[in-house]
Amino acid sequence: MEKVSIHDVEPSTWDPENRTHDRRGLTEPLNTSDVSIVHYVLEPGERFSGSVHAHMDQEEIFIVVEGEATFDLEDGDEVTVGENEAIRFAPGEFQSGKNDSDETVVAFGLGAPRDSEDVRISRIPTMDEDVECPECGRGDMRIPGEEDSGLVCPDCGAEPVVE
């Protein structure tokens, strides 16, 4: 058994240059082996992640416990998830969540299996820019592992530059 106080976990962010939301990873403190779990507090205008993305090898579930989150889908549609509601994205489903309301959003994100090694992005909403391979035209790029940087085309291996 493992127990942790969420507020004792140091917040982290996907954008260390612009720390805009309270994201607390609970996976390591809880020593989970099969699921990742993150606690989010998003103020109006903040996002869960910086891009429309998909985990090709992981399903994701978001549970909203306070407020209302909006998820952008790859086809341009949006889905709103209210307080005490949950949404599941299958492996390979592209999405990006945000707080489009005037109230704070508190939510949990769960991913299984725990470690995702094939993450793809198709759009960077904060830049209003689609991601496309300049060599072969593929419409989504793989995010390499933590030791690598940039993006890689899963088809031809090209490494497009996104500014």
DSSP-derived 3-state class of residue 37: strand
At 146, is the pLDDT very low, low, confident or very high (cuts 50, 70, 90)? low
The total number of structural domains that make up the chain: 2
pLDDT value at position 148?
55
Residue 156 reports pLDDT greater than 70: yes
The residue with greater pLDDT, 148 or 23, is 23
Residue 63 reports pLDDT greater than 70: yes
pLDDT value at position 65?
98
Cα–Cα distance, 162 to 85 (Å, whole number): 35
0.75 exceeded by the pTM?
Answer: yes
Residue 18 reports pLDDT greater than 60: no
- Regarding whether 100 and 137 lie in a shared domain, the answer is no
- Regarding whether 111 and 155 lie in a shared domain, the answer is no
In a domain? residue 111:
yes
